[in-house]
């Protein structure tokens, strides 16, 4: 089922036809964060291409999102590996064939798992960097001609893990730092073409895979360590996405919009088992190189 519904339009801050005639191309579109980003854009008039590796999940996400607006066109593009630029070119060509254009790109395909340095193999590190960073580069490379033609906009889904040292997330932190750098450089290089590039960095967002994987303690305990005293919602992410693609952000590029209630400013206050768990992990037998 979709996360958002028509009340997002009727009770929200955005006009219902804000993105009428626009098309968004979304990698990782079946994931909880990217799916709700796309839902918001479709509710506000856009059509969408959902790109993913798993056919069942990608097809289901596209069907869910299409149900949000009677005239919505949402296509599923499964079996696409963002590490392979030619695979993405095929997805872009299919999108233009069926939807006519690409105006917005959300590069959100990502890999993540918990691992300390001692048990993180070189191959596992490489795999996450390849999906998150190389995959982001490949996505924009494949979409570039459409972005140039339509003076489009890009959102990279980043994180706050590289703002401070987060144990068991070395691979993701390194990859997302690269994504931020990629976005900054593209903002400078592509700006003269009218293309904007920004990052959106979610913090602890309730009911997401990331929170389930990385959470420590109860939701109330986590909220107590966030300056705004609550977990984020997927609607918070949707609103930030709409803003960055809207005319209201027409002079915003090369930025990172952090949506985390201020939580990164207090670092790892919630990690009360540090450094006990780190020492245990480093003392245990490590991974093969």
Q: Which residues are tagged catalytic?
A: 158, 176
Q: Return the closest-CA partner of residue 287 out of 198, 157, 171, 197.
A: 171
As a whole number of angstroms, the distance between CA 148 and CA 195 comes to: 7
Cα 214 to the center of its chain, rounded Å: 16
Q: Are 136 and 176 in contact (CB under 8 A)?
A: no
Instruction: For residue 123, count other CB atoms closer than 10 A to its CB.
Output: 10
As a whole number of angstroms, the distance between CA 2 and CA 84 comes to: 29
Joined together, the tokens standing for residue 38 give 């796309």
As a whole number of angstroms, the distance between CA 133 and CA 137 comes to: 6
Q: How would you list the strands of the sheet with 256-259, edge to edge?
A: 74-77, 47-51, 23-27, 104-107, 153-157, 196-202, 256-259
Instruction: Please name the residues in contact with 93: beta carbons below 8 A apart, sequence gap of 6 or more.
Output: none
Joined together, the tokens standing for residue 24 give 């968004």
* The residue to which tokens 């693609």 are assigned: 245
DSSP symbol at 216: -
Give the SS3 label for residue 55. helix
Give the SS3 label for residue 77. strand
Instruction: For residue 53, count other CB atoms closer than 10 A to its CB.
Output: 18
Query: 196-202 and 74-77: which strand pairing?
Result: unpaired
């Amino acid at each position: 089922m979709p996360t958002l519904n028509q009340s997002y339009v009727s009770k929200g801050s955005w006009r219902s036809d804000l993105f009428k005639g626009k098309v968004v191309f979304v990698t990782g579109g079946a994931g909880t964060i990217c799916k709700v980003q796309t839902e918001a854009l479709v509710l506000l008039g856009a059509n969408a291409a959902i790109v993913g590796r798993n056919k069942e999940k990608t097809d289901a996400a596209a069907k869910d999102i299409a149900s949000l607006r009677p005239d919505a066109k949402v296509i599923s593009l499964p079996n696409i590996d963002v590490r392979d630029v030619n695979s993405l070119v095929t997805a872009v060509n299919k999108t233009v064939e069926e939807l006519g254009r690409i105006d917005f790109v959300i590069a959100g395909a990502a890999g993540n798992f918990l691992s300390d340095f001692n048990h993180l193999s070189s191959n596992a590190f490489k795999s996450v960097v390849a999906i998150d960073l190389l995959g982001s580069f490949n996505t924009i490379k494949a979409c570039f001609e459409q972005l140039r033609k339509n003076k489009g906009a890009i959102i990279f889904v980043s994180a706050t893990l590289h703002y401070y040292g987060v144990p068991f997330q070395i691979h993701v932190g390194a990859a997302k730092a690269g994504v931020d750098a990629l976005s900054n450089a593209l903002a400078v290089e592509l700006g003269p073409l009218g293309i904007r590039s920004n990052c959106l960095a979610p913090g602890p967002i309730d009911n997401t895979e990331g929170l389930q994987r990385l959470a420590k303690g109860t939701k109330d305990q986590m909220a107590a360590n966030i300056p705004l005293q609550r977990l984020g919602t997927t609607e918070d992410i949707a609103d930030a996405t709409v803003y960055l693609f809207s005319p209201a952000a027409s002079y915003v590029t090369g930025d990172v919009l952090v949506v985390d209630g201020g939580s990164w400013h207090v670092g790892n206050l919630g990690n009360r088992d540090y450094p006990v768990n780190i020492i245990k992990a480093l003392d245990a037998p490590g991974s093969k190189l």
